[in-house]
Structure 1
Amino acid sequence: MRKILGIDPGQTGGLSIVDENFNLIDCVLMPTIKTDGGKKRVDPRGVHAFISKYNPDLAIVELVGARPGQGVVSMFNFGDSFGQVRAIAEVLCADVRYARPQEWRGYQGLSGLSKEQIAEVAYEIFKAEAIYGKARKDGARAIRDGISDSLMIAKYGVRFLE
């Protein structure tokens, strides 16, 4: 069974592995560590460990850019995270492809949906409890959109297996 890795890069992103029949194998929040200054960053060792554990046949990395109003420091940090994840995927995966959010969402009919709605779709398909966190004060469950996005990115990747 061929395995597809979906990557939502960044500190709040996620890593997901599914097979070609859309069976969930594993999903995690993006591994992070704290730096000497107490700031959080992507943990390349954690990313490497997750990817090498499953030896995916294909990786799909979300290709994202700067957002309006995003500061220079946050863009630098995001670029650093993206570069680390991209490099690890390129080294460990036989085939790596990149998809803009508009591509993977549009292909699956998810354009215009909120993060919460995408999480609901991902949960219906994969039944991944990791999508939802602790209940908020209003009783609603917190959404880990890095996981739901990485699952749907991996699902999008199945189309490239021929």
Structure 2
Amino acid sequence: MINLFVGIDPGCSGAIVVISESGEYVSHLNTPTVKVGTKSRVNGAQVATFLLQYRGEISHAYLEQVGAMPGQGVSSMFTFGHAAGNVEGILQGMFLPYSLVTPQAWKKSAGLIGSDKDAARSRAIQLYPSLRALDAKAKGQAIADALLIARHGLGVKS
């Protein structure tokens, strides 16, 4: 049996990354969305379809634990929390074991405490230089965060 691990940067602009137990990149999915009125919502069916490709191979998922951030509006926080809850519900519904990981915890293990937002992408590019998806500024940032979340869960030193 292959042991795969999932890292999830939640939110409508997040990403889901699958890595092997040695930290090797396997695949990723930028969080798919659908429009509901004027709002974007996570396309849960597409997230589940992506994860189902690895049915029986995923040992554990690591989901960034989200909370309210200072200065963020009520509407945007609701949308963000809705997206994170959607993905957590999918993990539960698929009976995948998962852990919530605080941003402070995964950033500490990646050596990013006190760094700017783009430091995660720079670190991920160092660790995965052939992963061209990291080159895109915004989408690459989400993939980088998800990669480092998964690596934190594995205890792989970044």
With structure 1 as the length reference, what TM-score do the two structures score? 0.86
Partner residue in 1 for 2:54: 54
Match of 1:81 among 80, 83, 107: 83
Q: What's the offset of the Cα at 1:114? A: 2.0
Structure 2: which 5+ runs fail to align?
Answer: none
- Secondary structure at 1:122's aligned position in 2? helix
Partner residue in 1 for 2:41: 41
Q: Distance in 2 between matches of 1:27 and 1:115?
A: 20
Report Cα offsets for 1:2-56 as digits up to 9, x if no partner: 1110000001110000001111000121111122x24321110111111111231
> Quick check: 1:116–1:143 contact (8 Å CA) kept in 2?
no
After the TM superposition, which residues 99-118 of structure 1 pair with which residues of structure 2 at under 5 Å, given as runs? 99-118=101-120
Deviation above 3 Å: which 4+ runs of structure 1?
A: none
Q: Distance in 1 between matches of 2:65 and 2:142?
A: 14
Indicate whether 1:151 and 2:150 are aligned.
Answer: no
Q: What's the offset of the Cα at 1:93? A: 4.8
- Secondary structure at 2:72's aligned position in 1? coil
Report Cα offsets for 1:97-139 as digits up to 9, x if no partner: 0110001111221212223221011122123211222xxxxxx
Aligned AA (1:147): I
> Quick check: 1:28–1:130 contact (8 Å CA) kept in 2?
no
Q: What's the offset of the Cα at 1:92? A: 2.2
Partner residue in 2 for 1:130: 133
Across the aligned residues of Structure 1 and Structure 2, the Cα RMSD in angstroms comes to 1.6
Q: Distance in 2 between matches of 1:80 and 1:33?
A: 13
Taking every aligned residue pair, what percent have the same amino acid on both sides? 33
Partner residue in 2 for 1:18: 19
> Quick check: 1:102–1:111 contact (8 Å CA) kept in 2?
yes
Structure 1: which 5+ runs fail to align?
Answer: 134-141
Aligned AA (1:115): K
